[in-house]
Amino acid sequence: MSESEYEGRQDHIPQLDTPEIEVWAFQFPGSRTDIEIQVPEFTCICPKTGLPDFATISIRYRPKNSCIELKSFKEYILFFRPLGIFHEHVVNLMLRDLVRTCDPAWMEVRGIFNPRGGIQTTAVATFGDVP
């Protein structure tokens, strides 16, 4: 098996120091409240070509005690703009950071990346028992 020219380009992703995401206290813990956040203008960079990748990011979750504060989340999203990162790593990095921040009952991060060369990619990462 030959080594891919992508080899080693993403080894640093799990250790990235990402911006802090703030939360606020949810006043109805134990309720069956589900929240969905849409980011229709997400951008990052292809780690091979350096060209921009565009996507819609959808975050669905059920809060336990905390909800994601949206202004800090917008600032978090800007972190990805100059970052060379694979689509699959985008959703997993976001899921890791969001779960650490707000400790939801369950969460799904879905990235629907615009077609490139006739191929459209959707990557989904989940935490807990997503309905």
Element (H, E) at 107: strand 106-116
CB 97 within 8 A of CB 76: yes
Query: Which candidate in 17, 34, 46, 103 is catalytic?
Result: 46
Neighbouring-strand partners of residue 127: 107
Helix boundaries (H) for the chain: 70-78, 87-102
CB 96 within 8 A of CB 62: no
Residue 97: closest CA among 55, 129, 68, 64 = 68
Query: Which candidate in 34, 44, 53, 129 is catalytic?
Result: 53
CB atoms within 10 A of CB 18: 14
Say whether 17 is catalytic. Answer: no
Say whether 53 is catalytic. Answer: yes
Q: How far apart are CA 79 and CA 81, in angstroms?
A: 6
Give the residue numbers annotated as catalytic, written as ranges. 46, 53
